[in-house]
Amino acid sequence: MTLVRENLNEAKLNLPQEYIDKVRKEAGEKGWLGGPRRADFQQMNNLLSQIFPAQRDHEEELTELGKRVIQKFYGPVINGVELDIKIVQPDDEEKLEMTQKMFQKEDKEDQKDQEEQKETEEKSPEVELELKGIDKDIDKRKLINNVMQGEAQNVHSMMYDVKDEVTEITGNSRLLDLYMQFLELNKKFDWDESINLEQMMKQAPEMANAMETEWEEGSEEEGGDKPKIKARVLDLPMLIHETVKGIYELIAAGAIDPDPVRAQKILDATDTLADEQEDIRFGPFIAKDIRDYVNKVAEEISGTNNIPNLREFVFGKMIKMPANSFVDLITDILMKKDRAKSTIINFIKEIQTEFDEYNQAQIQHKFDTSNEDNYEDDEDEDVMSTKNVEFVDDIEEKPVQQPIKKPNYKNMGQAELEFQLNKAIDSEDWELAKEIQQYIKEPGK
């Protein structure tokens, strides 16, 4: 098995060449390789000229809609997380400040890399000892970043869950489709290796989207430090994108090396804008393949459909693994090796136990609270008192429930079909998944 290995300052994906080739082949079949053509630039400008006017003056409403979508699909994961996320204008001061901070961080890291490179070239024993075994830690962080970027891109289609609301808010029935066309076209720019992301952002900082995670200090009574996701973005897809990236960044915080010096070296080697360009390309494929593998294993375990966000909780278990074990597990998953199955099964069973214990604790708490309330009431009034009983002369008729209209999958685009397919798989509705699958085109056809 041939591995892609680069020096630590480059931090390339250390995965089987067979997998790298497979991803490139799929990207080629989707028409992403080769970079954008002149017509693509024209089309992108045309889409932007329609998108920005359509959402203008509706940024606050679309922001609230985006928050609802995030809450619906990630509610249990973001319990206790503050979402300071907004759709803003390109010249928004906060967004520009966040972008500038990102550039300053890049410049500092570049300077530090140059200084550390000199130290490494001198081969001093202290530096060699400090770097011992760090290559696997870097591989782990690189894979984590790919999953973060991939999940953020793969969930753009969640917007279809609020398709009618987008139309109602903006009065534009085509806006969601315009969003998706722009995102698909942008893939060509993502795969253009001649484009320098940092240079592009510095030339047009107003077109950049910004996100950062932070921990606000809190007392023990308040539950300790509170995580926060702050994002300032230009549209609804990026609101979802950057927030999901922030969610995974918070999950991955548990993988940061406790040694601050070592941790900084790992981040310097993996968390740059240059790294992000590569993560954006391969991340969606990596995240999808991990998702499919975990879903397939979960199919064989009873009760998994009762656990919301199972994949996120499984990922939370993964990132706690030692670097060697983590890299081996992800590699086995991507190469569809059966030996990864037992580890995923163990993680899922651990999560099921934790959920059962949590639910039992919640039930016991409600029971205890209910008993306390009853005892307090008994002291003040007779058990048979009708003081709090409401009498109703007429029984209120329940509204007749309207039959649920079945979606017309035949008229859906490929992105919306994939969203509906993933929803069916997550809910373990295999008959529906099979029905939707027949409308999805294979790559290259």
User: What share of the chain has pLDDT > 70, as a percent?
Assistant: 78
Q: Can you give the residue range of the structural domain that contains 26?
A: 17-351
| Domain presence at residue 394 | no
pLDDT level of residue 432 (50, 70, 90 thresholds):
confident
**371 pLDDT tier (thresholds 50, 70, 90):** low
Q: Is 237 a residue whose pLDDT tops 70?
A: yes
Residue at 274 is within a domain: yes
Residue 115 reports pLDDT greater than 70: no
> Is it the case that residue 43 has pLDDT exceeding 80?
yes
Q: How far apart are CA 349 and CA 302, in angstroms?
A: 10
> What is d(CA 138, CA 198) in angstroms, rounded to the nearest whole number?
22
Q: Residue 49 is encoded by which pair of tokens?
A: 């000229």
The per-residue b/e assignment along 411-433, b for 16 or more CB within 10 angstroms, e otherwise, is ebeebbbbbbbbbbbbeeeeebb
Judge whether residue 378 has pLDDT over 60. Answer: no
pLDDT value at 386 more than 60: no
Reply yes or no on whether the pLDDT at 375 is more than 80.
no
Q: Whole-prediction pTM value?
A: 0.79
pLDDT at 243: 97
Write out pLDDT tens, residues 433-443: 777 877 776 65
Q: CB burial class (10 A; 0-12, 13-18, 19+) of residue 402?
A: exposed
8 Å CB contact between 144 and 319:
yes
Task: Say if residues 170 and 54 touch (Cβ distance below 8 Å).
Answer: yes
Q: Return the number of other C-beta atoms located less than 10 Å from residue 60's C-beta.
A: 12
- 251 belongs to a structural domain: yes
> Helix (H, G, I), strand (E, B), or coil: what is residue 304?
helix
> What pLDDT, on the 0 to 100 scale, is given for residue 73?
94
For residue 331, being part of any structural domain is answered with yes
Q: Which helix (H) or strand (E) holds 210?
A: strand 210-216
What pLDDT does 397 receive? Answer: 46
**Half-sphere CA count of 374, side-chain side, radius 13 A:** 8
Q: Residues 323, 274: contact at Cβ < 8 Å?
A: no
Structural domain includes residue 10: no
- Residue-wise pLDDT tens digits, 167-200: 999 999 999 999 999 999 999 999 998 888 778 8
Asked if pLDDT for residue 96 goes beyond 90, the answer is yes
CA nearest neighbour of 326 among 250, 255, 276: 255
Determine the pLDDT at residue 220.
64
Band the pLDDT of 357: cuts 50, 70, 90: confident
Residue in 377, 444, 381, 380 with CA at minimum distance from that of residue 414: 444
Is a pLDDT exceeding 60 seen at residue 119? no
Q: How many structural domains comprise the chain?
A: 1
Minimum mean pLDDT range among 60-64, 96-100, 345-349, 430-434:
430-434
What are the pLDDT digits (tens) for 121-158?
454 444 444 567 788 999 999 999 999 999 999 998 89
pLDDT confidence tier of residue 41, bands split at 50, 70 and 90: very high
In a domain, 219, yes or no: yes
For residues 432 and 213, give the distance between their C-alpha atoms in angstroms, rounded to a whole number: 37
Residue count (the chain):
445
pLDDT at 111 > cutoff 90: no
Binned at pLDDT 50, 70 and 90, residue 365 comes out as low
The rounded distance, in Å, linking the Cα atoms of 18 and 3 is 9
Q: Tell me, what's the pLDDT at 410?
A: 74
Mean pLDDT, residues 331-353: 96
pLDDT of 10 higher than 50 = no
Q: Which pLDDT band, with edges at 50, 70 and 90, does 1 fall under? A: very low
**For residue 321, is it within any domain?**
yes
- Of the two residues 363 and 299, the one the predictor is more confident about is 299
pLDDT of residue 163: 92
**Is the residue at 92 inside a domain?**
yes
Q: Of the candidates 169, 173, 174, which has an alpha carbon nearest to the alpha carbon of residue 61?
A: 169
User: What tokens were used for 61?
Assistant: 């409403």
Mean pLDDT of the chain: 82
Structure tokens given for 64 = 């609230």
Which of 49-58, 71-80, 373-382 is predicted with the least confidence, judged by mean pLDDT?
A: 373-382
| Tens digit of each residue's pLDDT (9 = 90 or more) over 262-314 | 888 888 888 888 888 889 999 999 999 999 999 999 999 998 988 889 999 99
What pLDDT digit, counting tens, does each position of 17-37 carry?
Answer: 999 999 999 999 999 998 899
Task: Render the burial of 192-229: b for 16+ CB within 10 Å, e for the rest.
Answer: beeeebbeebeeebeebbbbbbeeeeeeeeeeeeebbb
First CA to last CA distance, the chain: 31
